[in-house]
Amino acid sequence: MTDATGPKRGLSRWVRGGGLSTLVFFIPLLLSFGLFSWWPILRSLLLSLQRTNFLTSEWVGFGNFARVLRDPLLLTAAGNTLWFTLLAFVIGFPVPVLLAVFISELRRARRMASILVYLPVIFPPVVAVLLWKAFFDPSPQGVFNSVLGWFGLGPVAWLNDGDLAMPSIVLQATWASFGTATIIYLATLMSIRTELYDAAETDGAGVFRRLWHITLPQMRTILLVMLLLQVIGTFQVFTEPYIMTNGGPENRTVTILMLVYRYAFISGDYGRATALSILLALILSALSAVYLWATRRWSTS
pLDDT of residue 298: 62
Q: What is the pLDDT along the chain (301 residues), one digit of tens a residue?
A: 445 555 666 777 776 767 777 778 888 888 888 888 888 888 888 889 988 877 788 899 899 999 999 999 999 999 999 999 999 999 989 999 889 988 988 888 888 999 999 999 999 999 999 999 999 999 999 899 999 999 988 799 999 999 999 999 999 999 999 999 999 999 998 888 878 877 877 877 777 787 787 888 888 888 888 999 999 999 999 999 999 999 989 999 999 999 999 999 998 889 999 999 999 999 999 999 988 888 876 655 5
The DSSP secondary structure of the chain, one letter per residue, reads: ---TTHHHHHHHHHHHTTHHHHHHHHHHHHHHHIIIIIHHHHHHHHHTTEEE-SSSEEE-TTHHHHHHHH-HHHHHHHHHHHHHHHHIIIIITHHHHHHHHHHHT-STTHHHHHHHHHHHHHS-HHHHHHHHHHHT-SSTTSHHHHHHHHTT-----TTTSTTTHHHHHHHHHHHHHHHHHHHHHHHHHHTS-HHHHHHHHHTT--HHHHIIIIIHHHHHHHHHHHHHHHHHHHHT--HHHHHHTTT-STTTT--HHHHHHIIIIIS--HHHHHHHHHHHHHHHHHHHHHHHHHHHHHHH-
Q: Which fold has domain 63-300?
A: MetI-like fold (1.10.3720)
Domain borders along the chain are: 63-300
